[in-house]
Chain A
Amino acid sequence: MSLHIIQTEIMAMEKRRRLYSMACIVLIAAVLISGYGLANDLNSGGFLTGMQQFFDYPSEIVKEAWAAGFSFFLVMGRFVPALVETLNIAGAASIVGGALAVVLAFLGSANLGVNPPVVITIVRRIMDIMRAFPELILALFLIFILGSSPVPAMIAVAFHTAGALGKLFSEVNENADADPVEGLASCGATWLQRMRYGVLPQVLPNYLSYFMLRFEINVRASAILGFVGAGGIGMELRRTIGWGKGAGDETAALFMLLILSIFVIDQLSSFIRRRLVTGRDSE
């Protein structure tokens, strides 16, 4: 008898759950359909005309690049300094932001005995704000004060990085083994010593893996911020695109450089991350 009751109950729950899933799917479909309809209306060019023109621009620049022949590679070489600048923005921002993130993460982890505990809450809120703050706004604001230069972009990206990495780092900290810390505490180690010798060696591989991931994201972000006046490859892109026809080979060269560097960094970072993670698993 009771089995029967359980069975009907389970069936009812199952039915309700499927209803929820159905409702969810219908909702998403409705959002998609009405959203694309609305977006199409708000867009200056419609979807159908856009689709016809979609390959015009890429084929135009490819044609111009092809026409340039071997000198295309010379054009590419001319833009290497701009690429280096973009990479430097990303590199410096990742390092500065990452260093700040380590400090924030240690102060914002619940399990490390930060005293007083209210510091943890405050630091976490700070990280939330840093993470949510759009890079674009900070970059534009700093460009206004400091003038067009890579530094505003660097600061903007570093600010966001500190928040984003800080959160990930503190999650890693909270999963760290407490035994080494207790051992060090029993020897009379200070808080800094406990963190340096008890926690840091445990979390460093994960930190590095997240750092590599972030560096890749930051290269993309730095390239984009260049477009609003922060220098580097983005700025060159805006210049060549602003010229319109005739600069297609330069645009193509810039695209090529950006794609290549992102590809290399992507492969490198996933290779290092894989090594770090498998290295840890074998322990």
Chain B
Amino acid sequence: MTSSTLAIQPPAPVTGSLTVFSRIRRNSLLVMAGTGLTILYLLYTFISFDVWDLLSRSKPQRAVLLATDAVAHKVHVTKTIRGAGGLSIAVEGERTATYETPPGWVTVSDDLTRVDLAEGYRVDISGTHVIFQIPDLGPIHVRITDTGIETILPEGVDPPDWLRATPAKFDARPTIGRRVQVSKARIEVHRYFMGWENFFFPFRSELAVYSPGQLFSLAFSDQRLDPDMPNWRLMATTFWNNPGWQHKQVFIALLETFLMAVLGTITAALVGLPLAILAAANFTPAQALRFAVRRLFDFLRGIDMLIWSLIFIRAFGLGPLTGALAIAFTDTGSLGKLFSEALEGVNKKQMEGVNATGANRLQFYRFGVIPQIIPVFVSQTLYYLEANVRSATIIGALGAGGIGLMLVEAMNTQRHWENVFYLILLTISLVMVMDTVSAKLRNRLIHGRSGI
């Protein structure tokens, strides 16, 4: 406010150096006061948001964890102590992704399981006794006894900060990619590998063992792996139905979000335009009607997308139709208001010219009005479309479905961060592609053929 009064003052005639200096002094005082108030407000929000408390409670290690899990996958080597006992090696500990024969870095003999964690790290498991070899530190012995878990560090070594050893649980993570956990029920060793596991084909699929080159030649080979369909179709369906990455469901979710944005925006624009004519002073002389339509715009906009979404989710359930209608309702108000302002600024001459030729009502609008506001109409609609792709992800997260809901659910389960990361990448790509396409179209419209 303060700076606005500063800026809108028409320059007073300069009568002497004194006036100039007093003006400058007053203005700089105003600017300083405005800045001071802003800083005070920020301080107030800082305190009311409890930022210090928040920072002390924050878990930055979660960010590291998330970053690692997003680009890497881990293989669990699990030895169950209680019950039947036995050893299982599985990607991410999933039952569906268990190795039949141990990979090269795990050697199993009668009473010793040796897990090679590379770079000198090694875990030897024999019965209930675990030896964790760590370079530069020596072996850590862990024993599961009746009283609890007993940890013996090498002589003269202080417990490192990556180690937590209590009688109930032993947990050591000397590097991000290596972790050993021992509880009374089981011994678990994690080794991380870069990359997304089984992104293309599920672990159990016969296709999972081939290299990209082999797959390529296989795709065009006549020797069918599955006698029912050609190899390339087998690959496509296996990829499409991948249970871990759910490519099919993710694609449908993206399509839903896209549909919400496109349908919602186009509907809003097409409903908004005729209403805008009713709200424009130079087309609708009836003041009562104009007032009513304008209040309708305010109402639609004022209810806000959040509330519209909640109401529509209640009535229509989960899905793209819900999101599309919520967007359409809100933006009919916003676009209608914008269009009516554009209509009030149209050039009268063209309309009069069309009228003079004896045009009927429809022709009058078609040739006298529409060509003038088409650039505003299309560019604003595209601009809203762009923003609505982002809105659609949020409405989805509120419960309307699509990629937004999928993302929230994947984040809430707090597993499979690589899935979350993949969804994030897809969402951002969708938004960016829409942004680029719409910016290109708007540019062409404004610079290329503004005179349609």
Residues of A within 8 A of B (CB): 17, 28, 31-32, 35-36, 38-40, 42-47, 50-51, 53-54, 56-58, 85, 88, 91-92, 95-96, 128, 131-137, 140-141, 144-147, 149-151, 154, 201, 204-205, 208, 220, 223-225, 227-228, 234, 237, 241, 255, 258-259, 262-263, 266, 272, 275-276, 279-280, 282-283
- Do A205 and B321 touch across chains, with their CB atoms under 8 A apart? no
- Do A279 and B8 touch across chains, with their CB atoms under 8 A apart? yes
A42's partner among B41, B42, B314, B321 (CB-CB below 8 A) is B321
- Do A282 and B10 touch across chains, with their CB atoms under 8 A apart? yes
| Given known A-B contacts A32-B266, A258-B306, A38 and B316 have beta carbons under 8 A apart | no
- Do B298 and A263 touch across chains, with their CB atoms under 8 A apart? yes
Nearest chain B residue, comparing its CB with the CB of A278: B8
Q: In the assembled complex, which residues on chain B have CB atoms less than 8 Å from the CB atom of A154?
A: 45, 49
Question: Closest Cβ of chain A: how far from B256's Cβ, in Å?
Answer: 6
Q: In the assembled complex, which residues on chain B have CB atoms less than 8 Å from the CB atom of A136?
A: 390, 393-394, 397, 404, 407
Q: In the assembled complex, which residues on chain B have CB atoms less than 8 Å from the CB atom of A258?
A: 304, 306-307
Q: In the assembled complex, which residues on chain A have CB atoms less than 8 Å from the CB atom of B8?
A: 205, 275-276, 279-280
B316's partner among A43, A85, A263 (CB-CB below 8 A) is A43
- Do B319 and A42 touch across chains, with their CB atoms under 8 A apart? yes
Nearest chain B residue, comparing its CB with the CB of A276: B4
What is the total number of residues of chain B having a CB less than 8 Å from a CB of chain A? Answer: 74
Q: Can you list 25 A-B pairs with a CB-CB distance of less than 8 A?
A: A35-B263, A42-B256, A42-B319, A43-B318, A44-B401, A45-B322, A47-B316, A56-B315, A57-B311, A134-B427, A136-B390, A137-B424, A137-B428, A146-B58, A146-B59, A151-B54, A204-B3, A224-B394, A227-B306, A228-B398, A275-B4, A275-B8, A280-B7, A280-B8, A282-B10
Main secondary structure of the interface of B (DSSP, over half): helix
- Do B316 and A50 touch across chains, with their CB atoms under 8 A apart? yes
Question: Closest Cβ of chain B: how far from A187's Cβ, in Å?
Answer: 15
Interface membership of chain B positions 58-82, coded 1 if the CB is closer than 8 angstroms to chain A and 0 otherwise: 1110110010000000000000000
Nearest chain B residue, comparing its CB with the CB of A92: B45
| Given known A-B contacts A220-B306, A258-B306, A134 and B45 have beta carbons under 8 A apart | no
B306's partner among A50, A131, A223, A279 (CB-CB below 8 A) is A223
- Do A53 and B315 touch across chains, with their CB atoms under 8 A apart? yes
- Do B7 and A276 touch across chains, with their CB atoms under 8 A apart? yes
A272 and B302 CA atoms in complex are apart in Å by 18
- Do A50 and B41 touch across chains, with their CB atoms under 8 A apart? no
- Do B302 and A35 touch across chains, with their CB atoms under 8 A apart? no
- Do A137 and B60 touch across chains, with their CB atoms under 8 A apart? no
- Do A95 and B4 touch across chains, with their CB atoms under 8 A apart? no
Interface membership of chain B positions 80-117, coded 1 if the CB is closer than 8 angstroms to chain A and 0 otherwise: 00000000000000000000000000000000000000
A131 and B435 CA atoms in complex are apart in Å by 9
- Do B411 and A145 touch across chains, with their CB atoms under 8 A apart? no
A283 and B8 CA atoms in complex are apart in Å by 8
- Do A43 and B321 touch across chains, with their CB atoms under 8 A apart? yes
A137 and B349 CA atoms in complex are apart in Å by 50
Nearest chain B residue, comparing its CB with the CB of A150: B49
A154 and B45 CA atoms in complex are apart in Å by 10
Interface membership of chain B positions 430-449, coded 1 if the CB is closer than 8 angstroms to chain A and 0 otherwise: 01100100000000000000
Question: Closest Cβ of chain B: how far from A142's Cβ, in Å?
Answer: 9
* B317 contacts chain A at the CB level, 8 A cutoff: yes
Q: In the assembled complex, which residues on chain A have CB atoms less than 8 Å from the CB atom of B256?
A: 39, 42
Question: Closest Cβ of chain B: how far from A160's Cβ, in Å?
Answer: 8
A151's partner among B49, B260, B301, B304 (CB-CB below 8 A) is B49
Q: In the assembled complex, which residues on chain B have CB atoms less than 8 Å from the CB atom of A44?
A: 316-319, 401
- Do A144 and B41 touch across chains, with their CB atoms under 8 A apart? no
- Do A135 and B7 touch across chains, with their CB atoms under 8 A apart? no
| Given known A-B contacts A44-B318, A145-B58, A220-B304, A241 and B310 have beta carbons under 8 A apart | yes
- Do B298 and A134 touch across chains, with their CB atoms under 8 A apart? no
- Do A272 and B267 touch across chains, with their CB atoms under 8 A apart? no
Q: In the assembled complex, which residues on chain A have CB atoms less than 8 Å from the CB atom of B208?
A: none
Question: Closest Cβ of chain B: how far from A163's Cβ, in Å?
Answer: 11
* B259 contacts chain A at the CB level, 8 A cutoff: yes
